[in-house]
Amino acid sequence: MVKDSKFYDLLEVSPDATPDEIKKGYRKMAMKFHPDKNPGMEDKFKELTHVYEILSDPEKRQVYDEHGEDGLKEGGNMDEEDILSAMFGFPFGKMGGGKRRGGKQQGRDIAFAVPVTLDDLYNGKQTQFPINRTVQCLACNGKGTNKPNSVQKCASCNGQGAKIHLRHMGFGFIQQVQEACEECGGSGESIAEQDKCEKCHGEKVFEEEKKLDVYIDKGMEHAQKLVFSGEADHLPGTTPGDVILVLKMEEHAEFKRSKNDLLTTKKITLFEALCGFQILIKHLDGRSLVVKSAPGEITKPGDTKIIEGEGMPQYKNPFEKGKLLVHFDVVFPENGSITVEQAKILATVLPTPEKFDIPTDAEKVDFNEKNLDEEDYEDEDGEGYEDGDGEGEGGNPRVACHPQ
Ligand SMILES: [Zn+2]
Ligand SMILES: [Zn+2]
């Protein structure tokens, strides 16, 4: 599957075309639109050639297949996108970079994941996020010197910024290796010691730590991006890229979030399920909510009740809140805790089971003394179902239900 088939469509080949088919497709289309035959089709011809350059290069083709045209743009930030995609488990859109501003080369955007709690997203929070960045020296304007004509060609690399080394590979093979010039750090320039900028010592840049003020607004979401325009590295001759902070929500012990709704699970006893209950919910802002069942109401295991207006605040409209859903687990009495006599009393209140006829040829069989839950559990960690508080990773959904 490719993200966008436009390039393939232009060459009239399918996205799973072989390199040979792509070459043939390009030749055919290039003949058709060649400017010699078709004056005025220069742009179309250029586009075809550009497309062929991408699709004939396996690496570029892969980038195009996965990320479309945006992935190929100069200054695009494949790395950050890929890291974030892996971190958040879904593909990330194009980061803010990729464009040129004011004719200068656009610096790379850089992204960080910022851990936040559900409490932060509910209540809002102001915090700081420290970043280390390389910035152009203001004292020399990124030139390394303030004296005119003091920038010379690096003598060591003759201004090339790189040197070619010959590496002997054995068996008589020699490999040419290009390495950045150590003298000038690859810039191809040198500045005499006495002419160097006092602030940056001719380095043109320095490292600084900056604390970004981060405002987490009520109702913001996991994976939401906060863009700090122009706060990334500022290298001489470039426009700095953006710092992008991506909120990464930690799991909460009590609440789960689903858009603007919150979900919590409460355990009630069988007594409470049948005779009524009153529960306390400690909310994310510290308030205690008390809620009780209606008189005569019976709560079944797995029932979910809704409290309006106690969910998450809406982003940018925080006085509007979603729902709070309360999911009920009913804890039954321990096996053997109700005597035969007590059961008879219960039977006077509970609905009578339907009677049914037993065929005369029915076979009488017995249950195992243990329930399946108990057997599974003993095998894993020697705990019975009643003792297990749900923390285990047991395969039984009833056991795995979330406790409070
Ligand atoms: Zn050099
Ligand atoms: Zn300087």
266-293 pLDDT, tens digit each: 999 999 999 999 999 999 999 999 999 9
Residues 360 and 375 in one domain: no
The ligand that comes nearest to the alpha carbon of residue 153 is: 1
Residues 9 and 59 in one domain: yes
CB 236: neighbour CB atoms within 10 A? Answer: 16
DSSP character string of 295-307:
TT--PPTT-EEEE
C-alpha of residue 62 to centroid of ligand 2, in Å: 41
C-alpha of residue 143 to centroid of ligand 1, in Å: 16
101 strand-pairing partners: 104
Whether 343 maps to a domain, the answer reads: yes
Whole-angstrom distance, CA of residue 130 vs CA of residue 34: 54
Residue (of 247, 208, 197) closest to 87 by Cα position:
247
Residues 356 and 382 in one domain: no
C-alpha of residue 153 to centroid of ligand 1, in Å: 8
Whole-angstrom distance, CA of residue 189 vs CA of residue 208: 24
C-alpha of residue 77 to centroid of ligand 2, in Å: 29
Residues 273 and 345 in one domain: yes
227 strand-pairing partners: 244
C-alpha of residue 195 to centroid of ligand 2, in Å: 11
Enumerate residues with CB within 5 Å of ligand 2 (an ion).
137, 139-140, 197, 199-200
Kindly state the tokens that stand for 317: 């409209």
C-alpha of residue 180 to centroid of ligand 1, in Å: 8
C-alpha of residue 54 to centroid of ligand 1, in Å: 33
The ligand that comes nearest to the alpha carbon of residue 188 is: 1
C-alpha of residue 244 to centroid of ligand 2, in Å: 28
Residue (of 304, 301, 322) closest to 313 by Cα position:
322
CATH value at residue 53: 1.10.287.110
Whether 246 maps to a domain, the answer reads: no
Whether 12 maps to a domain, the answer reads: yes
The ligand that comes nearest to the alpha carbon of residue 156 is: 1
Residues 343 and 373 in one domain: no
Whether 42 maps to a domain, the answer reads: yes
C-alpha of residue 204 to centroid of ligand 1, in Å: 15
CATH value at residue 307: 2.60.260.20
Domain count, the chain: 4
Residues 345 and 385 in one domain: no
Domain of residue 399 covers 367-404
C-alpha of residue 377 to centroid of ligand 2, in Å: 68
- Phi/psi class of residue 365: alpha, beta or left (left: φ > 0; alpha: ψ in -120 to 50)? beta
C-alpha of residue 178 to centroid of ligand 2, in Å: 29
Residue matched to tokens 């390389």: 134
The ligand that comes nearest to the alpha carbon of residue 159 is: 1
Q: What is the pLDDT of residue 313?
A: 97
The ligand that comes nearest to the alpha carbon of residue 182 is: 1
Q: Among 46, 72, 98, give the residue marking a domain's end.
A: 72
Residues 314 and 339 in one domain: yes
C-alpha of residue 105 to centroid of ligand 1, in Å: 23
Q: Among 141, 165, 191, give the residue marking a domain's end.
A: 191
C-alpha of residue 240 to centroid of ligand 2, in Å: 17
Whether 384 maps to a domain, the answer reads: yes
The ligand that comes nearest to the alpha carbon of residue 190 is: 1
Residues 1 and 66 in one domain: yes
Q: Which residues of 81-92 are buried (b: 16+ CB within 10 A; e: fewer)?
A: bebbeeeeeeeb
C-alpha of residue 189 to centroid of ligand 1, in Å: 6
Write out pLDDT tens, residues 339-392: 999 999 999 999 999 999 999 999 999 988 877 766 555 544 444 444 444 444
Q: What is the pLDDT of residue 71?
A: 72
The ligand that comes nearest to the alpha carbon of residue 147 is: 2
The ligand that comes nearest to the alpha carbon of residue 163 is: 1
Residues 315 and 375 in one domain: no
Residues 340 and 293 in one domain: yes
Whether 35 maps to a domain, the answer reads: yes
Whether 390 maps to a domain, the answer reads: yes
Q: Among 191, 220, 242, give the residue marking a domain's end.
A: 191
- Contact present, 98 and 122 (Cβ < 8 Å): no
Q: What is the pLDDT of residue 87?
A: 57
Q: Could you tell me the mean pLDDT of each successive run of 10 residues in the chain, 404 residues long?
A: 86 91 88 77 82 86 82 53 57 45 73 93 95 92 89 88 77 75 84 91 91 96 93 89 91 96 97 96 97 96 97 96 97 94 94 92 90 60 44 41 40
C-alpha of residue 136 to centroid of ligand 2, in Å: 8
Whether 79 maps to a domain, the answer reads: no
Residues 316 and 396 in one domain: no
Output the pTM of the full model: 0.62
Q: Which residues of 97-129 are buried (b: 16+ CB within 10 A; e: fewer)?
A: bbeeeeeeebbbbbbbebebebbbbbeebeeee
The ligand that comes nearest to the alpha carbon of residue 162 is: 1
Residues 52 and 38 in one domain: yes
